Amino acid sequence: MAETIRRLRLVLAWAALTAIICVVGVVASIAPASAAGCASGATMNFVAHQDDDLLFQNPMILQRVKAGGCLRTVYVLAGDAGDSDAYWRDREEGVKAAYAQMLGVSDSWSSANAGIPGHPFPIATLNPAPNVSLVFMRLPDGAIDGDGFPRNDYESLQKLYAQAITEIYAVDGSSYYALD
């Protein structure tokens, strides 16, 4: 029963963060290129970790992109597991390499910023397939139990939602988020 409640809290925390994102206009500001420029429309995914999209949303992702659709995936968590900066940066590079491999193109990406004041989101666009882009919010992992890791002052989305903390900071210090 405790595990079910814990999972429910995580889902609710995820929903709360999604609501925050909508309120500040991030979704509209970082939406994929105009659907008119995408032969099969545009898809925007929100996932927790780098690899969740490839593990749990494929083969849909590959089918949509190969059909000419635009795809933007937003990774909410850094996938840091309380480890070093090199660890989460390698995960970002790994998911980019996986997309290039999956599409059979070179692993060449351009980087930009979403342009949201106070919330810099790195956007990586696959140069040989510019209809594919990835956004990294870089929020700290909360650990399997939602308690967080010492490296990130034990911050987690679950704690933010439960109001055990008032804000959560990106692992690279670029931005922070609060429920209010």
Residue 89 token pair: 């940066």
Residue 52 token pair: 């969740």
Q: State the pLDDT confidence band at 168, using cuts at 50, 70 and 90.
A: very high
Give the ranges where the chain is alpha helix by DSSP (H): 2-23, 26-29, 52-56, 60-66, 85-103, 157-161
Q: Determine the Cα–Cα distance for residues 70 and 129; give it in Å rounded to an integer.
A: 9
Residue 17 CB-density burial (10 A; 0-12 exposed, 13-18 middle, 19+ buried): buried
- Tell me the whole-structure pTM to 2 decimals: 0.82
Query: For position 33, what pLDDT does the model report?
Result: 47
Q: State the pLDDT confidence band at 39, using cuts at 50, 70 and 90.
A: confident
Query: For position 2, what pLDDT does the model report?
Result: 59
